[in-house]
Amino acid sequence: MHNAIVIGAGLAGSEAAWQLAQRGIHVDLYEMKPVKMTPAHHSSAFAELCCSNSLRGAEICTAPGLLKEELRRAGSLIISCADATRVEAGGALAVDREAFANLVTEKVKNHPNITVHEGEVTEIPAEGHVIVATGPLTSDALFESIHNKLGAHEYLHFYDAAAPIVSFESVDMDSAYFASRYDKGTADYINCPMNREQYDAFWEALCEAEQAPVHGFEDKKVFEGCMPVEVMGRRGHDTLLYGPLKPVGLRDPHTGETPYAVVQLRRDNAAGSLYNLVGFQTHLKFPEQKRVFSMIPALKNAEFVRYGVMHRNTFMDSPRLLDNHYRLKAEPRIRFAGQMTGVEGYIESAASGFETGLNLARELLGLEPIEFSDLTAIGALGLYISNEANAKFQPMNINFGIIQPLGYRVKGKREKNTQIAQRALEHLDTLLDAVQEGKETLS
């Protein structure tokens, strides 16, 4: 029997172990809980949901819904357990947190091809095929082992604040305009003006908004260059006007005048479908971000594809280190999965575990890897984290901005996203049918 090692039994590790085991590979699964816990974990169960019990949108016209449907059709353990423990949550797939984790644990522990080992792994095994799926709170000893293997400048571990990202199509361009400061270069920035009354209301709300707790934040310091916007705002009414909201050189073509304040949006991907809020690093609670930042007139109906966060962040500079199958370029016997690769979110972590487990099994069985393209959500994630054009790499949730566009215009956002999803599922079904015709099973 072929053998593989999986380190970590979170969403990614449990999924990876399951996909390997389902294909006849013997898996040694190592999980440090309950011998050693992290500040974010409270249960000894596998696939513990540390934050929300929601796996986000369920409809395929949403990117999370599409990713879940792809995984469902491909035989995902995490999705099957989520479906089995679902609770009512409107248009989202939410689960009974305890029942979900217990079901994943039960299935993994009872699989005849999986042997579970409790206790901390302190270094990457020197031999064999390994999937490391230890998450953003990787233990210090294992972190040092990974850090030493990858190099001091190629593995990131820091306390950071990140800015939100919005979809371009949700920006009210009647209240915004493209321009560069002093009209230098090309007009690459979207500028969102505010008058004095609008700015005053925004500033007061920002200073009073509720911040999210930051697990494990020891020194309570951030670099000046990534100071949370709410911290900057509390330094004084005019501080932001001399910082990220500085209006100088950004004359509004609608009025011919310089606004009182301007929030700038910078393109976040080559397609121009995503924009980040420049200088808006934050660790406000997500609902507060939605409430306060939507007070900016051009963002009144903004779709936030990623909210700002501040936390201990342990993730790899994946575009320089990993290929689209999450293999370490310098040592392909080692794969990584989960949030440490730069996929952000529960289902995204499970998707990376699915891909790593599936294609490691195929390699061990002497088969070629399945190439998931960016026509699918599964493939788009792998291509995003391995894209060397991402010079300043940051974690990302699944969103339609990283999936290949249709190539033609469709009226209405919902209809456009539905057509992208239908195309993705048709492509995936064709791919799965071809594999099954080769007498290979995917579940």
Looking up residue 147, the CATH number of its domain turns out to be 3.50.50.60
Domain of 232? 165-308
Residue 424 to residue 410: CA distance in whole angstroms: 16
Ranges 202-216, 246-260, 305-319, most confident: 246-260
Judging by DSSP bridges, how do beta strands 130-132 and 3-7 pair with one another? parallel
Shared-domain flag, residues 112 and 237: no
The residue count of the chain comes to 443
User: How much is the mean pLDDT over the chain?
Assistant: 89
Q: Is residue 20 included in any domain, yes or no?
A: yes
Shared-domain flag, residues 132 and 169: no
Q: Is residue 235 included in any domain, yes or no?
A: yes
Domain count, the chain: 2
Shared-domain flag, residues 300 and 170: yes
Residue 115 to residue 374: CA distance in whole angstroms: 34
Ranges 126-130, 135-139, 154-158, 263-267, most confident: 126-130
Of 280, 308, 336, which residue constitutes the final position of a domain? 308
Shared-domain flag, residues 151 and 176: no
Of 285, 308, 331, which residue constitutes the final position of a domain? 308
Shared-domain flag, residues 232 and 254: yes
Q: Is residue 438 included in any domain, yes or no?
A: no
Share of the chain above pLDDT 90, in %: 66
| Residue 274, pLDDT score | 87
Shared-domain flag, residues 85 and 215: no
Residue 272 to residue 263: CA distance in whole angstroms: 18
Q: Is residue 442 included in any domain, yes or no?
A: no
Shared-domain flag, residues 123 and 268: no
Shared-domain flag, residues 200 and 218: yes
Q: Is residue 441 included in any domain, yes or no?
A: no
Q: Is residue 288 included in any domain, yes or no?
A: yes
* Residue 296 CB partners (closer than 8 Å, separation 6+): 192, 194, 198, 202, 263
Q: Is residue 439 included in any domain, yes or no?
A: no
Q: Is residue 443 included in any domain, yes or no?
A: no
Shared-domain flag, residues 329 and 373: yes
> Quick one: the chain helix, strand, coil %, rounded to 5?
35, 20, 45
pLDDT at 144 over 90: no
Of 288, 308, 328, which residue constitutes the final position of a domain? 308
Ligand-binding site membership of 8 (annotated): yes
DSSP structural state of residue 74:
T
Ligand-binding site membership of 9 (annotated): yes
Q: Which residue has the higher pLDDT, 442 or 356?
A: 356
